[in-house]
Amino acid sequence: MLKAQRIRIALVLTGYAECLMETRPFSTSRLMFLFVVIWFSLASASAQLAVGFYSLSCPGAEFMVRNTVRSAASSDPSVPGKLLRLLFHDCFVEGCDASILIQGNGTEQSDPANRSLGGFSVINSAKRVLEIFCPGIVSCADILALAARDAVELTGGPAVQIPTGRRDGRISSISNVRPNIVDTGFTMDEMIRIFSSKGLSLEDLVVLSGAHTIGSAHCSSFSDRFRQDSTGKLTPIDTSLDRSFAKELIDRCPVAANPSITVSNDPQTSSSFDNQYFRNLIAHRGLFQSDSVLFSDSRTRRLVEDFANDQESFFASWTQSFMKLTSIGVKGDGKGEIRQSCSAVNI
């Protein structure tokens, strides 16, 4: 396998060399992508990840996942945001090994922070199709990573070619959740600590927070930004929050609101993966405290402004940071398994 990995890296390097020798101009994004793939190939050599990992064993794997995501999203526009969130909650706990998909008492799904997760049925549907055509070949971890990747592209975001070859973990414990995920009320220092522990930089933190350009959240996830006054009405705790936006949130999520009510993370373009999220932050219309702090903190304000003004720059950075996200704690040969069902470890 190490020999095969060296061959794949050599092929990427060859592609880079050919790119340099071309007489016609080539794009910065293309050159950046080659650098990212080279970095990823070297960084993940021990896990045996590779672009086109299933090209021989299951040639239609990525197409089948993409088709499943497209079909689900066409009938339920909330699917892309759910899949992207599901990937984050998986990769930050035990690495990108589909441990979040395992059902049962005491598993990661049991933690209150994960009870509002969605998109499980999409992953399970893709797995069922793949088990018909390629039994025992494609891991749930890869399905989840590919599905989240496709969710971004389907909503207008950049197309990212990610390596595959992840294996599924056998451990899923509720005790591992809280120490490893970012809460919506976190300070900048708390977020930096979590991201740093995953090998992600301050820029990655800002870029990946851009995932909030799609998806929605329950009222409870931002209720800490408001308090009840003496008359029982909600008022903003953070006075920097845009007044009209704060009123919209209070109207949508009054005291004793139905717990099933949700609010779009990005009310401007809730179904489009774009840079509107960063524009919202500048306008003091970030939904979570962990969003707003990205603009209020001097360490990240410049990046927010840059991405708000340049969507292409955000997309280029997203490609790099998403590749890093999907490489966290990957399990390769000798570690993990290929589950028969994504919701349970093999017996």
The H or E element containing residue 289 is: helix 289-296
Torsion sign (Cα): 264, 265, 268, 271: negative
On the question of pLDDT at 31 being above 80, the answer is no
**What is the pLDDT confidence band of residue 334, given thresholds at 50, 70 and 90?**
confident
Q: How far apart (Å, rounded) are the C-alpha atoms in residues 171 and 339?
A: 12
Residue 50 lies in a domain: no
pLDDT reading at 16 higher than 50 = no
Q: Residue 9 above 50 pLDDT?
A: no
Answer whether residue 257 is part of any domain.
no
Strands 226-228 and 234-236: antiparallel
pLDDT the model gives residue 17: 42
Q: What percent of the chain has pLDDT over 70?
A: 86
Task: Kindly tell me if the per-residue pLDDT of 13 is higher than 60.
Answer: no
Q: What is the pLDDT of residues 107-125, one digit of tens each?
A: 999 999 999 999 999 999 9
**What is the rounded CA–CA span in Å between residue 290 and residue 185?**
6
Annotated active-site residue in 82, 85, 89, 225 = 89
Cα angle value 313/318/319 (rounded, 5°):
105
CATH number of the structural domain spanning residue 159: 1.10.520.10
Q: Is 93 annotated as a binding residue?
A: yes
Which range marks the domain in which residue 87 is found? 60-215+265-326
User: What's the domain count of the chain?
Assistant: 1
Q: What is the pLDDT of residue 47?
A: 57
Instruction: Please say if 218 is a catalytic residue.
Output: no
Cα–Cα distance for residue pair 83/317, rounded to 1 Å: 20
Residue 99, annotated ligand binder?
yes
- Say if 48 falls within a structural domain: no
- Burial classification of residue 291, based on how many CB atoms lie within 10 Å of its CB (0-12 exposed, 13-18 middle, 19 or more buried): buried
Classify residue 236 by its DSSP letter.
Answer: E
129 falls within a domain: yes
Q: Has 274 been labeled as part of a binding site?
A: yes
Q: Looking at residue 232, what is its pLDDT?
A: 87
- Would 2 be classed as within a structural domain? no
Confidence class of residue 213 from pLDDT cuts 50, 70 and 90?
very high
Q: What is the pLDDT of residues 54-94, one digit of tens each?
A: 999 999 999 999 999 999 999 999 999 999 999 999 999 99
Q: Could you tell me if residue 162 is inside a domain?
A: yes
Higher-confidence residue: 203 or 256? 203
90 among the known binding-site residues?
yes
pLDDT surpassing 60 at residue 21: no
Is pLDDT of 43 > 90? no
Q: What is the DSSP letter of 220?
A: G
Residue 38 has pLDDT above 60, yes or no: no
Find out whether 212 is annotated in a ligand binding site: yes
pLDDT at 6: 43
97 annotated as ligand-binding: yes
Give the residue carrying structure tokens 């299933």. 54
pLDDT one-digit tens code per residue, 139-193:
999 999 999 999 999 999 999 999 999 999 999 999 999 999 999 999 999 999 9
For residues 248, 251, 256, 257, the Cα torsion angle rounded to the nearest 10 degrees is: -80
The whole model's pTM is what? 0.87
Residue 26 lies in a domain: no
pLDDT at 264 exceeding the cut of 90: yes
SS3 304: helix
Sequence-ordered list of residues with C-beta below 8 angstroms from that of 196, at least 6 positions apart, any chain: none
Q: What are the structure tokens assigned to 173, written together?
A: 């414990």
Q: Which residue has the higher pLDDT, 1 or 230?
A: 230
- The residue with tokens 């996942």 is 65
Q: Was 108 annotated as part of a binding site?
A: yes
Per-chain mean pLDDT for the chain: 89
Tokens of 214: 């799609």
Measure the CA–CA gap between 139 and 331, rounded to whole angstroms: 11
Asked whether residue 211 carries a pLDDT value surpassing 90, the answer given is: yes
Whole-Å CA distances, 294 to 18, 69, 180, 276, 288: 40, 31, 20, 14, 10
52-59 long-range contacts (CB < 8 A, ≥24 apart) are 52/164, 53/142, 53/163, 53/164, 53/165, 54/134, 54/137, 54/138, 54/142, 54/164, 57/134, 57/137, 58/130, 58/133, 58/134, 58/137, 58/138
- In a domain, residue 4? The reply is no
